[in-house]
Structure 1
Amino acid sequence: MPQPLDAGAVCRWSRLAVRALGAAREDIDAINVYPVPDGDTGTNLYLTVESAAQAVAAAEAGEPSLAEAARALAHGALIGARGNSGTILAQLLRGMAEVFAAEPAPAAPATLAAALARAAASARQAVAHPVEGTMLSVATAAAEAAGLAAGRPAAGLAEVLAAARAAAREALTATTGQLPALAAAGVVDAGGSGLVTVLDALDTALFGGPPADAVPPRHRPAGPAPSPAGAAGPGEAAGCGGHPAEAGFEVTYLLDAEDTAIPALRDRLDALGDSLVVVGGDGLWHVHVHTGQAGPAVEAGIAAGRPHRVRITTLAPAGPPPAPAEAGGRAVVAVLPGPGLAGLCAEAGATTLTVRPGEAPGGGELAAAIAATRASEVVLLPNDRELWHAAAAAAEQARVAGARVAVIPTRSPVQGIAALAVHTPKRRFDEDVVAMTAAAGATRFGEVSVAERQSWTMAGVCQRGDVLGLVDGDVAVIGGTVPEVAAEVLERMLAGGGELVTLVLGADAPAGLADRLTDRIRQAHLGVDAVVCAGQQSAPLLLGVE
């Protein structure tokens, strides 16, 4: 059913865009060849939108208006922007927010068209040397088509957005012939591909359709993936051109400065380097430049205002990335729902990152946890399907810094425990990863939880307060009490055989639950052992069967 373009739509859009970019991240990274084959455009876009979504989620608790939700989206993207592609996307979102803030909600078709037009125009103004055949071209084509559609009689949101998406796809396809680097590789522009993905997510937020992360990849290279050899580092320059700078560093920072100080800052930075993008407004700016003179680039910011969150990254020369300084050994990072399992996982050799229910860590937080280990080889256990995209983006960041990182797609803490049980640091890294992956994959996982609302499930309709039994992520049992549902889930999981059952009790687990279940295992399942652990997850019980 079509939904209005209001604050709720912006909230859904932010979540769907994160999922869609997470699913498309590797494909977009693979076609990043212009102006240098950095291979990180998809990762940068994902991290930018992830920051935007987190800002929207924080604002959502206060029941925001359309203007407030759109401003939160733009502000989150601004402060979390990565690379040129993410910085340009942040400006596109800011342009849309400016229009939404000035119009009543829900937004009319003409308002959406005006928002896309403001977005495209402001993004071009933010780039020092705009180049056709980039995400700027895609944004402009989408805006122009939306404007034409909005001028037709009785045009609705669906018609305006459909016209914008169709024009964006056509413009994206045309990028291959607009830039020699894209033509030589047989690919479309990576930043433009990401922008199409974001527009598709908006369509899903308004008009439904398949989940954003179920959309198959659409923008793969026509031939083999471009080689990363000759890559100039982690900051691709989507939409930027101009003089090729002898850039040895990517310099980014947030800047508190008056709007009147920005023209002089642009001129000074443009003389220092290339790939220059300055976005923002109202006293807060995001600055991005590639330069061989990192110190003067920061000094230019000091002259203009107060720079903060300064990040200076060495742009890697051709060839494999260097190993991180003073790094060594192997580490395992496990994400856990609360501190209850931290001791058990630490004993098995893991560094733990505990999170509270409903507060999933982002890619930046996971990357920081990987970096904090100072290990040259890292295995990451997300232990939650919803964290897979963030984990993949974090791993990509760590690889740029020189670490070897493997993400084992664990969907539950019990799968993480199984992987840790076979972890052997003295083995070769690849062999250790294979063994841990096999152990996690051989572990069926279950959960007993309480429904928070009425909902459709694989086992039928549940009501608020019903006890749900999940097997491998799907609801298999709906019942009235935790012990009854736990027993049924246990039997279903053991029906296919098993040697070891792991029971992780939550803080709200009924007294005596573990004893009931272990007695049942001893009496009805000879040869099956049971291990009981205390956790602090929101669910009363997690189960694993190996």
Structure 2
Amino acid sequence: MTQESTRVEDRPTTLDAQGVLTWARRCVEQLAEHREEINALNVFPVPDSDTGTNLLYTMRAALDRAEGEDAWIAEGGGTAGAREVAVALGRGAVHGARGNSGVILSQVLRAVGEAATFTVVDAATYRRALRTAVTLVDNALSDPVEGTIVTVLREAAAGAGRSTATSLVEVARAAADAAADALSRTTAQLSVLRNAGVVDAGGRGLLILLDTMVGVLTGETPERPDYGVPSDPGAGECVAGAGAENSDRDDAGGPAVQASTQTRYEVMYSLTHSDDARADELRSALRTLGDSVVVVGDGGAGDHARWAVHVHTDDIGPAIESALSLGRIVEIRVTDMLDPLGEGRATDHAVGTGSAGASSAAARPTGTPTRTVAAVVRPGSLAELFIDAGAAAIDPGDSGEGVIDAVLALEADECVVLPNGELSRAQIASLDEALRDMGRHALILPTASVVQGLAALAVHDASSTLSLDGFGMADAAAATRHAHLVRAEQDALTLVGRCAAGDLLGVIGHDVALIDSDPVGTVCSIVDRMLTAGGELVTLLLGDEYDEPSTETVLARLRADHPDVEVAAYSAGPGRILARVGVE
């Protein structure tokens, strides 16, 4: 997209696709710069609050999704405009939303996409986007609380609506100034904020996004007061005794009900293969199980639509089970709000784990158990993918005999093992027995291929308990269908006909699904067949037979045939398996 924004009195009246991307990138930069400030404002109910971190993570997820649109634009091969980029931002934010404030942010970004014209964001679009965001957020929340990010958003929309200017910059400035005024008043609207002498953390994050829009349009970001936490040593004590004035750990006064501060768990997951009616049904069910309920969609259609689900509850199982009949659950995350650092689990994990584990535990004054992920994977490019993602790579060798010793040698209190299809059932049983004999706290997950292992590792959360971490990782692995491509070693009869030595065999799961001779065509056909059952993300691990031109051909064909599906490819190096495919 090369369209230039129209200018009146040297001020842009619109933002094109590149302008929207520039705003999103600046938002990430500004949230990163102010992350600790926002975290510090989130003083209740836990002192190590993470609203700033959640907002930054969510905005980065949004930008990552939109950057795919940016690459398409830069290549000159498409006609993506501001609306497409804005829609991508909204969907990326819903898919990657963290915490209550992150979920709310996702709806603000989604609203921009729904309000934008195809090519530009103008003054009318900005007004409409803020109004739409208010509607989306109000519909998504169980009981909005005044004095939170919801209040700041509503006042920003009202400020934009009061402006009669035709220039985008004037409307953006009116919205940001109204939001700043509303933010300053949040201190008096909630006693928990008044006692601490701070403004709402989520609202502060929203103001940064609105001010960044002004900065992109004018080159100068508005000056705001110092919203830092007061140095009054008694402020924290006042907050700690504030009782049930606010139940949201994500923003001091987040958009939740004013309910119990003793609610223990924050449960988040994504829901696919559902619809708005079932999302409403889930929202009603969750209200009976906890508070701070938010269920928001990304605006997509059909099986590609996704809803982000957030609830504070003491009943983790029912909160998840409520959605089982309403769609497909993915990406489960559970945080213990009363023990976010895991310090209360010290006595639960005091069992000796050998000399290495004992010395490691002694070095941690909080008693928080360490955890490692052991991925059974052959050396080379695949092993590097797991290592880069934070796992320890265990070489299975020719027979898998060294795996047990390698896993037991890892210096960690807890271990999650990813077999990745490299171990037989008997070897897994032997590994399990050895881990139990050593008193190790460990889980062996049913990952039947490296693509399932990578999917599990992507949702690994060392801050949660071992069982919850393993549950989320196993869920991600189970949601990933896998396939691979090999050459037939001899003539044989398969489920799809006779193959000759040297033929390419496309194996989906454990069954031969197609026989071909063209590596590019075969891997594309495998993906096509797998996507008939739905999917949002395709991961390709391509061996040495795929050079750079053939890899680009594969990616171009798949992205053209499946524009709503994300496709990523990585080098897998040499090996008997020519290509591996994962569909999530």
TM-score by length of 2: 0.53
Q: For residues 440-476 of structure 1, give each alpha carbon's deviation from its aligned partner in whole angstroms, at most 9, with x where no partner exists.
A: xxxxxxxxxxxxxxxxxxxxxxxxxxxxxxxxxxxxx
5 Å-filtered alignment, 1:13-412, equals 13-34=23-44, 37=47, 39-63=49-73, 64-100=80-116, 103-149=117-163, 151-152=164-165, 155-209=166-220, 218-224=226-232, 226=236, 235-236=250-251, 238-244=254-260, 246-256=262-272, 257-280=274-297, 281-282=299-300, 283-317=305-339, 321-322=343-344, 328=360
Q: 1:217 to 1:67 in 2, by over 3 A?
A: same
Q: 1:259 to 1:318 in 2, by over 3 A?
A: closer
Q: For residues 56-92 of structure 1, give each alpha carbon's deviation from its aligned partner in whole angstroms, at most 9, with x where no partner exists.
A: 1122111131111001100111111111010111111
Q: Report if the CA contact (8 A) 1:32-1:190 is conserved.
A: yes
Q: For residues 265-287 of structure 1, give each alpha carbon's deviation from its aligned partner in whole angstroms, at most 9, with x where no partner exists.
A: 11110000011111114431000
Aligned equivalents of 1:106 and 1:146: distance in 2? Answer: 18
Aligned equivalents of 1:312 and 1:139: distance in 2? Answer: 27
Q: Aligned-pair distance for 1:204?
A: 2.2
Aligned equivalents of 2:292 and 2:46: distance in 1? Answer: 11
Q: Report if the CA contact (8 A) 2:202-2:254 is conserved.
A: yes
Aligned equivalents of 2:248 and 2:162: distance in 1? Answer: 40
Report the counterpart of residue 385 of structure 1 in structure 2: none
- One-letter amino acid matched to 2:193: L
Q: 1:244 to 1:323 in 2, by over 3 A?
A: closer
Q: Aligned-pair distance for 1:304?
A: 1.4
- One-letter amino acid matched to 2:281: A
- One-letter amino acid matched to 2:81: S
Q: Aligned-pair distance for 1:201?
A: 1.7
Q: 1:205 to 1:244 in 2, by over 3 A?
A: same
Q: Aligned-pair distance for 1:108?
A: 2.3
Aligned equivalents of 2:340 and 2:61: distance in 1? Answer: 30
**Structure showing greater relative contact order (alpha-carbon pairs closer than 8 Å, 6 or more residues apart):** 1
Q: Aligned-pair distance for 1:245?
A: 6.9
Q: 1:167 to 1:400 in 2, by over 3 A?
A: farther
Q: Aligned-pair distance for 1:243?
A: 3.5
Q: Report if the CA contact (8 A) 1:38-1:233 is conserved.
A: no
Aligned equivalents of 2:137 and 2:387: distance in 1? Answer: 37
Q: 1:196 to 1:233 in 2, by over 3 A?
A: closer
Q: Aligned-pair distance for 1:313?
A: 2.3
Aligned equivalents of 2:177 and 2:45: distance in 1? Answer: 26
Aligned equivalents of 1:221 and 1:294: distance in 2? Answer: 33
Q: Report if the CA contact (8 A) 2:148-2:203 is conserved.
A: yes
User: Which SS does the other structure have where 1:302 is aligned?
Assistant: coil
Aligned equivalents of 2:185 and 2:464: distance in 1? Answer: 30
- One-letter amino acid matched to 1:62: W
Q: 1:322 to 1:60 in 2, by over 3 A?
A: farther
1:7 aligns with 2:17: yes
Q: Report if the CA contact (8 A) 1:265-1:304 is conserved.
A: yes
Q: For residues 216-260 of structure 1, give each alpha carbon's deviation from its aligned partner in whole angstroms, at most 9, with x where no partner exists.
A: 983112344747979989655711114327522211111011111
Q: Report if the CA contact (8 A) 1:233-1:316 is conserved.
A: no
TM-score by length of 1: 0.57
**Structure 1 unmatched runs, 5+:** 334-341, 343-350, 355-364, 377-396, 403-546
User: Which SS does the other structure have where 1:304 is aligned?
Assistant: coil
- One-letter amino acid matched to 1:187: V
Aligned equivalents of 1:104 and 1:62: distance in 2? Answer: 16
User: Which SS does the other structure have where 1:265 is aligned?
Assistant: helix
Q: 1:398 to 1:13 in 2, by over 3 A?
A: farther
Q: Report if the CA contact (8 A) 1:120-1:139 is conserved.
A: yes
Q: Report if the CA contact (8 A) 2:46-2:337 is conserved.
A: no
Aligned equivalents of 2:342 and 2:38: distance in 1? Answer: 20
Aligned equivalents of 1:271 and 1:134: distance in 2? Answer: 23
Q: Report if the CA contact (8 A) 1:234-1:400 is conserved.
A: no
Aligned equivalents of 1:81 and 1:32: distance in 2? Answer: 18
Aligned equivalents of 1:7 and 1:121: distance in 2? Answer: 25
Q: 1:164 to 1:232 in 2, by over 3 A?
A: closer
User: Which SS does the other structure have where 2:329 is aligned?
Assistant: strand
Identity of aligned residues (%): 38
Q: Aligned-pair distance for 1:173?
A: 0.1
